[in-house]
A and B are shown apart, each in its own frame.
Chain A
Amino acid sequence: MNPAITLATARRILTQLRHDHRTVALMALVPTLVIILLYYVIDDQRSFGAWAPILLCVFPFLVMFLVTSIATLRERTSGTLERLMATPLGKLDLLLGYGIAFGLMACVQVAIALTVSLTWLEFDLAGPLWSLVVIALLNALLGTALGLFCSAFARSEFQAVQFMPVVMIPQLLLGGILVPRDQMATVLEWISNVLPMSYAIEGMKDVVIGGELGGEFWRDVAVVAGSALLALILGAATLRRRTP
């Protein structure tokens, strides 16, 4: 690993994005637009207060997962990955480069969504703002890392896109959004316990309800961060210098 190469990679990915205005606009604005839509659909400040943070949690994950898995797949199919694997670039340089570039995009995404929610939509946040940002960013990083990992198993863009519901929907259903986790069947609760999104949602709930951010909040943060790191290492393991 080499910091200069990691940063050059992140800069390269951001330059690629800069040439693609539509993708940037979609990444930056879609979460905010959906939250605004939700606000008018629910039309009830209290329920909105419960749902908004979940969207803030889910969106960075979702978008980063999709964008990363497609971007790395393109890197594999265009031959640039093979070229990079023949250079001194380390596998983690590439993965962290993607993590940094898309992490920055996630910052923009979360910043816009939060600003609109907190001002126009009068979203009431009981806990400190930074804790929400931390959770949202960790989610974005987790999405990036899982996207990298899953792209290794996709041969085409068609397959890569199909991985999104596979990874996403079980985590949402079992994450305690629709049914509280402790009311699920025991087996489902066990599964829920090993899915990182469950902890992200729980942490997010802690922030919204407010009060003291105790050990439980930090446990949730640690679990999400640990999962992102694990996915990043697994993703690195799927990159091969030599291929058949």
Chain B
Amino acid sequence: MMNLSEPAIAVRDLRVVRGGVEVLHGLTFEVPRGQVTGLLGPSGCGKTTLMRAIVGVQIVTGGQVTVLGRPAGDPSLRRMIGYSTQNPAVYRDLSVVENLRYFAAVLKAPKSDVDRVIEEVGLSSVAGQLGGTLSGGQLNRASLAVALLGSPELVVLDEPTVGLDPVLRQELWRLFQSLADRGVTLIVSSHVMDEAARCQRLIVMREGEILADDTPHELREHTRTTDLEEAFLRLIEERTAA
């Protein structure tokens, strides 16, 4: 079922218009399987729209998005993709366990998955608490836990580490890496540059365009800086100079 030779995601000339304005201007790139790919860029650069297009919930104006060998949004993909939005999409009037039990039933994931994902995101101590009583970071992790239910081949996470303390962030990045080691493809968006170093591949975006699509190492070489924040600035300078 897993064909490692073909990319997990292939995007060709993707255009998206939202509210009469084109927000993605013909993106073309590929995402390799079994790696953590970071989607970086400032707020409003189109990261979320791109992720929505990959998951298949975004109306696209033009271009093709192929996910795991099928067109994005194909019904057969719905059980193979774990997706967590930027705003935690969990029921505030249900406990963490109740939320996960419901989504596990919808995804036809085994019941034992509920305990596993709660453990993985470190919410065991508040598992019985209602969503509405959790802190922002906890709620975010509850939402992330839903995306890990079942055994998705592709996990799309929109800003999963916002508002988390450094220890938790490190733990989550370790979790992402261990998933990738098992062959899962992850796309993780972030506007924090220091998270970029933890990815195997980086797609740097700005104003609906891709500035760079490289490994962190190549990106550093290319921009002749060790700091990714600096690299980002160089990329923008290059663009405006060209």
Contacts and interface: CB of A to CB of B under 8 A. Distances in A.
Interface string B38-56: 0000000000000000011
Given A4-B108, A82-B89, 11 more contacts: A8-B106, A16-B94, A19-B93, A79-B89, A82-B85, A83-B103, A84-B106, A86-B78, A241-B57, A242-B59, A243-B58
Nearest to B146: A83
B89 A16 contact: no
B9 interface: no
A5 B91 contact: no
B102 A8 contact: yes
A183 interface: no
Given A78-B89, A79-B89, A82-B85, A15 B98 contact: yes
A182 B105 CA distance: 52
A19 B98 CA distance: 11
B191 interface: no
Contacts, number: 78
B87 interface: yes
Given A8-B102, A82-B57, A87 B107 contact: yes
Nearest to A83: B89
B168 interface: no
Interface of A: 4-5, 8-9, 11-12, 15-16, 19-20, 78-80, 82-89, 241-244
A86 B108 contact: no
A15 B100 CA distance: 13
Contact of B93 (A11, A20, A83): A20
Interface in B156-194: none
Interface residues of B, number: 31
B89 A80 contact: yes
12 contacts: A4-B105, A8-B106, A12-B91, A79-B87, A82-B89, A84-B106, A85-B57, A86-B81, A87-B78, A87-B79, A87-B107, A88-B78
A21 to B, nearest CB: 12
B230 to A, nearest CB: 35
Nearest to B156: A86
B103 A242 contact: no
B92 interface: yes
Nearest to B72: A242
Contacts of B58: 242-244
Contacts of B91: 12, 16, 78, 80
Interface in B70-95: 73, 75, 78-79, 81, 83, 85, 87-94
A5 B78 CA distance: 14
Given A241-B57, A244-B59, A5 B105 contact: yes
A88 B130 CA distance: 25
